């Protein structure tokens, strides 16, 4: 097997200079992927390997996962996330995952259903027929309330807007650092760096409030925060203050931002596709007695779940997954060196016509009866895969279905004519200008 040196690997493949990445990364990556499943991209001073074939993706995420660590993108988010479950590696990651996993087991997630529905009904209670609101903001407020309540038993509704604003500042900064060629040292007090540090401080204050409140209340809890705070190793040592801060910050951010973004895109897609909306309404109308939908009933709402699967296909909130090789790895017939940066884009793979006919068409029907029978499991990866598969997947899927079913029964949302809709690929795939919609109370 030949050892391939960067950048001459896969000779014959075009080496893409990704200036376009700054302007329109989604189209640039899609175009690059169409020229081959393995493509070298030149991004400023770096060469990265874009992998778009499901077999290769499975090699990296599953079979050879021990030869990789999280890549450069997430490293830039470390000043914000610290060394939590999303960013940690090796033994620390294994310990964190083992600690947090029980909080996401089926029964525990099922038990979150009631809170999810209650919070959704509460959020809608603030809306009036005819309101014009930014759906992205509303969904962020809602999923923030759900995450803080279910994960940390905390009521922090008044903090939702501060968190959203600071998270936007922080994510734009991280993205800027990933893209910029001029890599200034992090201690240089540029205005952007100062804004970022201020945003992290504000987010830190929210996290510390969550931890302090729990430390002061003597009650028994059964959530992920209780697991983290009750953890101790063989010597009886618990997590340090810093470790606890990093885990809570990670779960706080990962636990609401992605689901909120998914829901914002979902409502837009439903507005743009009235036939889909009608079919969803039919299913929701059949749900018994107009009583609130519960976690038990979600299995009886196949079309609702299909709408979520399809929205996750077209607008995967985690649109890019990045790995760095720490050992040589094999992509038959080649061997690639340690140090190789690998990019995998769910957005790009999900729009590949080889796996999804008419890939640009929003068609929940493709997911009925459990989806395309012949689909390679790594052609659809909204939650990643392998050992680093999203820990919150069951929660996200339940939450999205319950929000959709609960609000879908009594509200219709219509995009305000002329409102610009554009993707903003930060760490998550956000709508750049929000999604301004008219809220119509409409009993289904």
CA-nearest of 280, 208, 279, 203 to 241 is 208
Per CB under 6 A, the list member of 60, 395, 407, 437 interacting with ligand HEM is 395
Residue 114: enclosing H or E segment and its boundaries? helix 106-125
Residue (4 or 100) nearer to ligand HEM, CB:
100
By the rule CB under 6 A, 174 interacts with ligand HEM: no
Residue (9 or 225) nearer to ligand HEM, CB:
225
CB 408 within 8 A of CB 444: yes
By the rule CB under 6 A, 255 interacts with ligand HEM: yes
255 phi-psi bin (left φ>0, alpha ψ -120 to 50, beta other): alpha
Say which residues have a Cβ less than 8 Å from residue 210's Cβ, sequence separation at least 6: 148, 152, 154, 156, 225, 248, 252
Per CB under 6 A, the list member of 25, 54, 153, 382 interacting with ligand HEM is 382
Q: Among the candidate windows 206-214, 255-263, 353-361, 414-422, which touches ligand HEM by CB under 6 A? A: 255-263
Q: Is the dihedral of CA 50, 52, 56, 62 positive or negative?
A: positive
Per CB under 6 A, the list member of 33, 52, 166, 250 interacting with ligand HEM is 250
Per CB under 6 A, the list member of 396, 405, 427, 437 interacting with ligand HEM is 396
Per CB under 6 A, the list member of 391, 407, 427, 437 interacting with ligand HEM is 391
Long-range contacts formed by 243-248: CB under 8 A, 24+ apart? 243/83, 244/211, 245/82, 245/204, 245/207, 245/208, 245/211, 246/81, 246/82, 246/83, 246/84, 247/84, 247/85, 247/96, 247/100, 248/84, 248/152, 248/207, 248/210, 248/211
By the rule CB under 6 A, 113 interacts with ligand HEM: no
Q: Among the candidate windows 178-186, 227-235, 275-283, 379-387, which touches ligand HEM by CB under 6 A? A: 379-387
By the rule CB under 6 A, 76 interacts with ligand HEM: no
CB of 258 to ligand HEM, least distance (A): 3
Per CB under 6 A, the list member of 13, 95, 97, 440 interacting with ligand HEM is 97
Binding site for ligand HEM (CB under 6 A): 70, 85-86, 97, 151, 250-251, 254-255, 258-259, 262, 316-318, 321, 382-384, 388, 390-392, 395-396
């Amino acid at each position: 097997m030949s050892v391939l040196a960067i950048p001459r690997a896969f000779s014959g493949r075009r080496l893409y200079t990704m200036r376009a990445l700054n302007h329109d990364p989604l189209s640039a990556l899609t175009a690059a992927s169409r020229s081959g499943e393995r493509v070298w991209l030149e991004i400023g001073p770096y060469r990265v390997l874009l992998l778009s074939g499901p077999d290769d993706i499975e090699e990296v995420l599953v079979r050879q996962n021990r030869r990789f660590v999280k890549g450069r993108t997430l490293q830039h988010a470390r000043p914000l996330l610290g060394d939590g479950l999303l960013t940690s590696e090796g033994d620390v990651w294994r310990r964190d995952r083992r600690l947090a996993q029980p909080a996401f087991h089926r029964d525990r997630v099922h038990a979150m259903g009631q809170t999810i529905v209650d919070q959704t009904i509460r959020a809608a209670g603030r809306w009036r027929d005819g309101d014009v609101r930014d759906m992205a903001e509303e969904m962020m407020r809602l999923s923030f309330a759900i995450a803080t309540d279910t994960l940390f038993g905390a009521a922090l509704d008044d903090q939702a807007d501060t968190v959203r604003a600071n998270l936007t500042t922080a994510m734009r900064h991280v993205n800027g650092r990933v893209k910029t060629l001029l890599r200034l040292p992090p201690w240089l007090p540029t205005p952007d760096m100062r804004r970022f540090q201020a945003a992290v401080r504000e987010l830190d204050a929210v996290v510390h409030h969550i931890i302090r409140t729990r430390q002061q209340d003597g009650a028994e809890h059964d959530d992920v925060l209780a697991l983290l705070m009750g953890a101790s190793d063989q010597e009886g040592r618990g997590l340090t203050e810093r470790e606890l801060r990093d885990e809570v910050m990670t779960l706080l951010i990962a636990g609401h931002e992605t689901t909120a973004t998914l829901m914002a895109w979902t409502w837009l897609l439903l507005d743009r596709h009235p036939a889909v909306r009608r079919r969803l309404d039919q299913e929701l109308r059949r749900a018994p007695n107009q009583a609130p939908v519960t976690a038990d009933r979600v299995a009886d709402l196949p079309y609702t779940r299909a709408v979520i699967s399809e929205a996750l296909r077209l607008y995967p909130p985690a649109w890019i997954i990045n790995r760095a090789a720490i050992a040589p790895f094999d992509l038959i017939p080649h061997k690639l060196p340690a140090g190789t940066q690998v990019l995998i884009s769910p957005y790009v793979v999900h729009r590949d016509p080889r796996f999804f006919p008419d890939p640009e068409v929003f068609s929940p029907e493709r997911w009925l009866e459990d989806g395309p029978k012949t689909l390679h499991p790594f052609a659809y990866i909204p939650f990643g895969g392998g050992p680093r598969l999203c820990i919150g997947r069951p929660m996200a899927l339940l939450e999205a279905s319950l929000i959709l079913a609960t609000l879908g029964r009594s509200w219709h949302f219509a995009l305000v004519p002329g409102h610009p809709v554009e993707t903003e690929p930060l760490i998550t795939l956000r709508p750049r200008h929000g999604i301004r919609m008219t809220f119509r109370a409409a009993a289904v």
